[in-house]
Chains A and B, each alone.
Chain A
Amino acid sequence: MRLIEGPVSPSAISEIVVRGGTNTDTGAHSLFLGQVRKDQIEGKSVKAIEYSAYEEMVIMEANKIHKSVMSEFNDVKSIEILHSKGLVKAGEISLVVMVSSGHREQAVKACAKLVELIKEKLPIWKKEIFEDDSGMWKQE
């Protein structure tokens, strides 16, 4: 798990995919990309999200999530997680999860489970920034 300042760049995403290809035991990769959505709230549109994190605890909790998913899905070979901190504009990527496994079924299931656990367990917060530069903390 890595926290990245600003959006996750296309080159960071392709690096993960290329690295996944070096493990020849793997037959499937499941890749999830989370993107900042230009929501409309009370007539104003979201232009960006400002992410903040309790970084030490994020890394600790991510390690726990990593271990629990690896032990639940025995065909999974590797897990990569990138999450943004700081400002990410609408249309940019703020979360990447890639799970590589021997066969497709566990890659897809483990990836979906990781995305849910990331939202539930990692101490990360987001403030939606509107076009007029006002902001609102998002409660999920």
Chain B
Amino acid sequence: MEINVLFFGVLTEVTGTHRKHYRGIKSFSDLKYRIRDDFPDIENYNFRIAVNNRIVNEDPVLTDNDEVAYMPPFAGG
């Protein structure tokens, strides 16, 4: 399946991008490994992951064209 991945905050600098499109993804953990392979430094940062605007705590089931967001700790206000 195809997945759109968004990066925010400091992670845009760690990855050098705000958005990356992945093809041939088999599962959520497959996607996480692919991202870690592409951007190994990401493991040095704290982040939470949202799928289609909802924060996920356990590995969710992804479907084609889902939007996955890598979000460092929030700092609004």
Contacts and interface: CB of A to CB of B under 8 A. Distances in A.
Given A54-B69, A57-B50, A57-B53, A123 B74 contact: yes
A138 B71 CA distance: 13
B60 to A, nearest CB: 15
A139 B73 contact: yes
A54 B8 contact: yes
Interface residues of B, number: 16
A137 B53 contact: no
Contacts of A139: 72-73, 75
B10 interface: yes
Interface residues of A, number: 26
A102 B32 CA distance: 50
Interface stretch (A40-48, A67-75, A112-120): A112-120
Interface of A: 34, 51-54, 56-57, 60, 83, 94-95, 115, 118-127, 137-140
